[in-house]
A and B are shown apart, each in its own frame.
Chain A
Amino acid sequence: MTNEPGGMNEGAGHAEGIRLIRESAAAVAPRQGGLRRIRALRFTRPGFDPAIWREICAMGWVGIRIPEGQGGAGLGMAEYCALAEEFGAALMPEPLIGAVLATAVLPAALLADQLSGRRLILPAWQEKTGALHAPLATSFSNGGVFGHKIFVPMAAGADGFVVTAREGYALVPASAEGVSLVLADTQDGGHFGALSCDDAPASALAGDFAAALEEATLATSAYLLGLMDRVFALTLDYLRTRTQFGRKIGSFQALQHRSADLKIQLELTRASVAAAADVLDATAEPASRQAAVSRAKARASDAALRLTREAIQLHGGIAYTDEYDAGLFLRKAMVVANQFGSSAWHRARFAAIAPDSEDEGP
């Protein structure tokens, strides 16, 4: 019963859709087996596999949040979270969450290209570190974008960017004049792009990016959930098989109790993510949505760092080698934990928006 994906939290309404998502994810984002493909892609450009990206598009996953009438899959957040969780468990470098986020503001023709994989548009929404919302300096006027966007994951693979500006959203082609992209490697072997626009020609976009940003944050929490679920499974396997002092090390109480605590953090994250997905699927009310998302992201970020850190310690020296897989999970967690707002930022937002209701006690 340890590693049933999603085990206990799925409501009957979503259960079947979630099961199908997980099953279909297994082919592209395997939970089991080696991580050779993931290793091979590290520190390469664009850092993910275009062929796998085409498969992802063919599965219809980029359009998971787009209504069926517009060519998408029209699925809910519970399903999207299940998918992101599977991606996390497989340490997928393909930029699903960014691509899904961009679909919120793409007009029909571009959307069709994005969903089919003909083009990859990634969001460039961030100007400050660690925060989901901050005042923007980027401007968009007379068809030109001025500004500097940072931390765009997998930017090297993008054909264009959704740029958030004070005036609204703009689509900036990667090859446009006045656009420069500087890449910085990340711990997991991927990269962030820093996008500078100096009167870059752009077209205006319409749509609701704010709500989609919340969804991307929750999907990121689910990605972390999958990641920690798998690294914990890896760790338990090791504890069950590694022998020292003539005993399986998993029989030592010091390690058992640490493992029990990690299991609790893992299940709290699962419950928190599932509860937040239910909130997003049930209400359009911004404060409730934001509070639920912040709660899940704060938990997932902290728990993912803890689980991956402890995975190293519970393994011992072997996990300090790059050859052993535990490090892949740690370095992925280091990159993802602070994306879409750090745990500290989300706690502060939760404190600011979630009413401290008497419902918490008599």
Chain B
Amino acid sequence: MTDPFPPPAEVLDQLDDEAFRLVVRRFLAENYPPALRNPPKRLHWRENKVWYLKLAEKNWLAPGWPREYGGMGLSAAKQIIMTEEFERYGCARVNDHGIVMVGPLLIRYGSEEQKRYFLPRILSGEHIWCQGYSEPNAGSDLASLRTEAVLEGDHWVINGQKTWTTLASDANWIFLLARTDKRAKQQQGISFLLVPMAAKGVSVRPIINLELHDEFCETFFDNVRVPRENLVGAINQGWTMAKALLGFERIFLGSPRQSAYALTRLRRLAEHVGISDAPVFVDRYTRLRLDLADHRALYETYVAKLRRGEALGADVSMLKVNQSEIFQRISEFMLEIAGENAGLLEPIEGNRDLHPAGIFIQARPASIYGGTNEIQRNIIAKNVLDLPA
């Protein structure tokens, strides 16, 4: 008699880290669609849906949600192992805003009715969410956002424009930050609202990014009316809630996988162009290897903190800055050694492992998204080094 695989979440949570890691590996080997490994671009819902629904079917979609809400209820340490293994296997990222953002938001701040309605629909894949935070004039300075929601009777009337709404064209719901009190100080007049994308007055325009991919969108709100109950938590508390949602997941912005992936491509590119043994290449390549190895050592100290049940401080910003800049240095070196191939739109000779231009372009936003590296340095200076304002 064999036990069912994978074991239920209660059992998984009791496993030691290495045993759990092996379960995740086996799970991926048995369940992950081979055609979706290491996708060169962020996949759309029509492409990654099969994986989302497989995760849903196995109850592996929401590792961090408590079990009473249909999640796996795993510790931070186990969630990190899961993410590491997913990254190692080259799994595509699903449309995960519902899982990563809306679920935790509602579980913490939502009404019973909101939880009962939305959470199961996220888990079933019926609701696909996108995030409405940034605006054309509110990027790094998010608190200056101007999209406005005014209460008229039992409805919020929303007007404004959001941008960088990742995969908004796939989504049927959006959670957004809107200004609900124009007289309050910037951070204090903002609320969280949930809006169906099908509502009258919502329109979406894809943005073609430097990868020539339509991952981002602009989303417009023109007198959009949603019921009063679509507000999450208390009015004008949206900023506080959004900040509270910045949990340990911030560590993933500093995960070494992206740079590790790029580094192997750098090596293969050097072999392809025939310079992998040249001393000038070896020296710079070794510097990058050491940068990555030391980064990994630093990253591991944060993982160890989480494993001990400690919260992450502002110093986690160091990981994001360092990782993204290693990634960029690798990509810049690739471009330098690639010769004319650096200008190719498609991978060299159709080999997906040889695409210096692609990696170079992919590396550009790494120092922008999730808070620009300049903002991260401000945070380090003020909150870690205690330098004056």
Q: Which residues of A contact B (CB under 8 A)?
A: 1-2, 8-9, 11, 236, 239-240, 247-248, 250-251, 253, 255-257, 259-261, 263-264, 267-272, 274-275, 295, 298-299, 344, 347-348, 350-351, 354, 356, 358, 360-362
> CB within 8 A of A260: which of B265, B267, B381?
B381
Residue in chain B with minimal CB distance to A273: B297
> CB within 8 A of B385: which of A8, A236, A298, A361?
A236
- The answer to the question of B111 belonging to the interface, with a C-beta cut-off of 8 Å to chain A, is no
- The answer to the question of B283 belonging to the interface, with a C-beta cut-off of 8 Å to chain A, is yes
Within the complex, the shortest CB–CB distance from A230 to chain B, in Å, comes to 15
Q: Give the distance in Å from the alpha carbon of A66 to the alpha carbon of B262 in the complex.
A: 44
Dominant SS at the A interface? Answer: helix
Check B38 against A236 for contact (C-beta < 8 Å): no
Of residues B300, B380, B385, which shows the largest number of chain A Cβ atoms within 10 Å of its Cβ?
A: B385
Q: Closest 3 A-B residue pairs measured CB to CB?
A: A256-B381, A361-B264, A361-B260
Check A360 against B289 for contact (C-beta < 8 Å): yes
Within the complex, the shortest CB–CB distance from B89 to chain A, in Å, comes to 7
Within the complex, the shortest CB–CB distance from A329 to chain B, in Å, comes to 18
Check B387 against A240 for contact (C-beta < 8 Å): yes
- The answer to the question of B273 belonging to the interface, with a C-beta cut-off of 8 Å to chain A, is no
Q: Give the distance in Å from the alpha carbon of A271 to the alpha carbon of B254 in the complex.
A: 15
Given A275-B300, A361-B262, A361-B263, A236-B386 contact (CB < 8 Å): yes
- The answer to the question of B261 belonging to the interface, with a C-beta cut-off of 8 Å to chain A, is yes
Kindly list 18 other residue pairs between chains A and B, CB separation below 8 angstroms, not including A259-B381, A263-B318, A271-B301.
A8-B305, A239-B388, A250-B387, A255-B387, A256-B381, A259-B380, A260-B377, A260-B384, A264-B318, A271-B298, A274-B301, A347-B287, A348-B286, A351-B285, A354-B289, A360-B263, A361-B262, A362-B90
Ordered by A's residue number, 11 sampled pairs between the chains whose C-beta atoms are within 8 Å are A240-B386, A248-B388, A251-B387, A253-B378, A255-B387, A263-B318, A274-B297, A348-B283, A350-B290, A356-B267, A360-B263
Check A351 against B286 for contact (C-beta < 8 Å): yes
Q: Give the distance in Å from the alpha carbon of A247 to the alpha carbon of B38 in the complex.
A: 50
Within the complex, the shortest CB–CB distance from A308 to chain B, in Å, comes to 17
Within the complex, the shortest CB–CB distance from A319 to chain B, in Å, comes to 18
Measured between beta carbons, the chain B residues less than 8 angstroms from A270 are 298
Q: Give the distance in Å from the alpha carbon of A285 to the alpha carbon of B61 in the complex.
A: 41
Given A271-B300, A295-B293, A257-B387 contact (CB < 8 Å): no
- The answer to the question of B40 belonging to the interface, with a C-beta cut-off of 8 Å to chain A, is no
Measured between beta carbons, the chain B residues less than 8 angstroms from A348 are 283, 286
Measured between beta carbons, the chain B residues less than 8 angstroms from A236 are 385-387
Check B297 against A275 for contact (C-beta < 8 Å): yes
Check A358 against B264 for contact (C-beta < 8 Å): yes
Check A260 against B287 for contact (C-beta < 8 Å): no
Within the complex, the shortest CB–CB distance from B81 to chain A, in Å, comes to 16
> CB within 8 A of A298: which of B290, B304, B386, B389?
B290
Measured between beta carbons, the chain B residues less than 8 angstroms from A295 are 290, 293-294
Within the complex, the shortest CB–CB distance from B279 to chain A, in Å, comes to 9
Q: Give the distance in Å from the alpha carbon of A268 to the alpha carbon of B318 in the complex.
A: 10
Check A272 against B297 for contact (C-beta < 8 Å): yes
